[in-house]
Amino acid sequence: MTALNIAVTGASGRMGRMLIEAILNAEGLHLSGALDTPASPAIGTDAGLFLGKTTGVIIESELARGLAGADVLIDFTRPEGTLKHLEYCAAHGVKVVIGTTGFEAEGKAAIAEFAKRTAVMAAPNMSVGVNVTLKLLELAAKNFSHGYDIEIIEAHHRHKVDAPSGTALKMGEVIADALGKKLDDVAVYAREGFTGERDPSSIGFATVR
């Protein structure tokens, strides 16, 4: 069986390192490239250095070098970086898995356009358990919507850079869709001071870091 060539962005970050380790330990996958920002001290080092392994894959800052020979790019970085990487991949036939969160409407629209030119799989959370939970939320919203106030409270570690998290927003989106609403029309992200009574149609968000 021919191995699938995988490149990883954010190679020196928490998620990048986890992905590299998983690829190195998986059958049928081959780490073909690793990318990071030009300012990263990891540029020019072996992608397996943090594992005490030599992979022969050097962490690059140039997309052309890091994606040479890649079938798929896995991107868990930041919205502006992901869109730049996606543009390159769409032009060069590289498929993309996106786990980056925090996209505005314009960014989401750009992803949809690039997906017409190359295969793209984007999800705010790759966990099977979370995706099962999303389905359960959809069913609950359809069957228990009346007379209930909907609030989403999420907690993440201090390193999380976006709030609410992509997972929390996806939960809100699933619930709003199930109720025939648009999340942008009913979401409440902050409450402070004398706010008056709660709008029964709203979906509230609270974030803990």
Question: Which segments of the chain are extended strands (E)?
Answer: 4-8, 29-35, 59-60, 72-75, 95-98, 120-122, 150-155, 187-188, 203-208
How does pLDDT run across 64-122, given as a tens digit for each residue? 999 999 999 999 999 999 999 999 999 999 999 999 998 999 999 999 999 999 999 99
Q: Is the pTM of this model over 0.95?
A: no
Q: Give catalytic residues, as residue numbers.
A: 156, 160
Tell me if residue 118 falls in helix, strand or coil.
Answer: coil
**161 burial type by CB count under 10 A (0-12 exposed, 13-18 middle, 19+ buried):** exposed
Full set of structural domains in the chain with CATH: 4-122 (3.40.50.720), 128-208 (3.30.360.10)
pLDDT over 80 (residue 1): no
